[in-house]
């Protein structure tokens, strides 16, 4: 076990930790929240889903039902009145910088969770820990970061973790992904593929591909594109930890 603050002894250790932890968060969002829970393109085994659920509890305080409801509503009203986070409706700058606020506003609207959040986990873990005590997870993460990096660097690392999803998911994917990039499919909304090599955001960079076929567990559509989230799902399926329900050919 590392000594108190020992991971702050070199400048690169906190940076590497943030990058690895951030990627784990992105992967948990795209595989568990997005592809499995929201669109049902894949069924994750409990042993695969559990660590993702716990990591999201620690690193984001996201409540599964709320995230799923917000994203389903986004697909129902993409880039028109009713979309929770469209840069066309609210402006790109507002979505990039304040995407998380639009998320909170949407999930607090009466009836949204009941209408769009159906089918999400309702087990003991969700009812007694992950949903009602979602704020506890990020405090545990703060304690872990302080122990690993000390009283000065630890809170800085934690702060970056806390703004990770609001910026990269709520801001970049939902904002830039509907404003800048290329399109493989002429869908009714303004979704764009940010990059054909989709690694940093777990595959979410292929946003136009996803909007063209939301149920697909695979976001890649062209031979030159790479969806790292799909690669992870294929690896999980080899070990019986994921069952692909549907993937575009």
Mark 78-94 as b/e (b = at least 16 C-beta within 10 Å).
Answer: bbeeebbbbbebbebeb
Question: pLDDT category, 237, cuts 50, 70, 90?
Answer: very high
| Dihedral-angle region of residue 66 (phi above 0 means left; psi in -120 to 50 means alpha; beta otherwise) | alpha
Long-range contacts of residues 187-195, Cβ cutoff 8 Å, at least 24 apart: 187/211, 187/212, 188/78, 188/79, 189/78, 189/79, 189/80, 190/79, 190/88, 191/78, 191/79, 193/225
Neighbouring residues of 14: CB distance < 8 A, sequence distance ≥ 6: 7, 8, 149, 153, 156, 157
Q: What is the pLDDT of residue 95?
A: 87
Mark 108-136 as b/e (b = at least 16 C-beta within 10 Å).
Answer: eeeebbeebbeebbeeeebeeebbeebee
pTM listed for this prediction: 0.95
Question: pLDDT category, 196, cuts 50, 70, 90?
Answer: very high
pLDDT digits (tens, 9 = 90+) for 203-228: 999 999 999 999 999 999 999 999 99
Q: What is the pLDDT of residue 100?
A: 84
pLDDT digits (tens, 9 = 90+) for 12-30: 999 999 999 999 999 999 9
Q: What is the pLDDT of residue 90?
A: 86
Question: pLDDT category, 199, cuts 50, 70, 90?
Answer: very high
Q: What is the pLDDT of residue 176?
A: 93
Q: For 233-247, what is the mean pLDDT?
A: 98
Q: What is the pLDDT of residue 92?
A: 84
Q: What is the pLDDT of residue 133?
A: 97
Domain ranges of the chain: 7-244
Examine the pLDDT at 1 and tell me if it is beyond 90.
no
- Report the alpha-carbon distance of residue 65 to residue 126 in Å, rounded: 10
Q: For 133-159, what is the mean pLDDT?
A: 98
pLDDT digits (tens, 9 = 90+) for 65-120: 999 999 999 999 999 999 988 888 888 888 888 888 888 899 999 999 999 999 99
**Cross-strand partners of 42:** 244
Q: What is the pLDDT of residue 98?
A: 84
Pairing type for strands 42-44 and 197-198 reads unpaired
Q: What is the pLDDT of residue 91?
A: 86
């Amino acid at each position: 076990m590392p000594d108190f603050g020992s991971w702050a002894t070199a400048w690169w250790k906190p940076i590497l930790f943030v990058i690895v932890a951030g990627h784990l968060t992105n992967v948990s969002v795209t595989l568990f929240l997005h592809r499995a829970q929201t669109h049902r393109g894949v069924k994750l085994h409990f042993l695969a889903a559990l660590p993702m659920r716990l990591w999201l509890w620690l690193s984001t305080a996201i409540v599964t039902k709320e995230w799923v409801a917000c994203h389903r509503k986004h697909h129902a009203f993409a880039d028109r009145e009713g979309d929770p986070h469209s840069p066309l409706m609210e402006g790109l700058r507002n979505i990039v910088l304040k995407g998380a606020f639009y998320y909170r506003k949407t999930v607090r609207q009466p009836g949204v969770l009941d209408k769009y959040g159906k089918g999400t986990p309702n087990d003991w873990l969700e009812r007694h820990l992950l949903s009602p005590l979602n704020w506890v997870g990020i405090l545990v993460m703060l304690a872990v970061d302080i122990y690993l990096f000390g009283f000065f660097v630890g809170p800085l690392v934690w702060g970056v973790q806390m703004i990770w999803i609001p910026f990269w998911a709520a801001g970049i994917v939902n904002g830039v992904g509907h404003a800048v990039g290329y399109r493989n499919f002429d869908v009714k909304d303004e979704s764009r593929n940010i990059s054909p090599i989709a690694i940093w955001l777990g595959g979410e960079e292929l946003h136009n591909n996803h909007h063209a076929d939301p149920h697909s567990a695979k976001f890649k559509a062209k031979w030159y594109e790479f969806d790292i989230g799909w690669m992870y799902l294929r690896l999980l399926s080899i070990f019986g930890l994921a069952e692909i329900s549907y993937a575009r050919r």
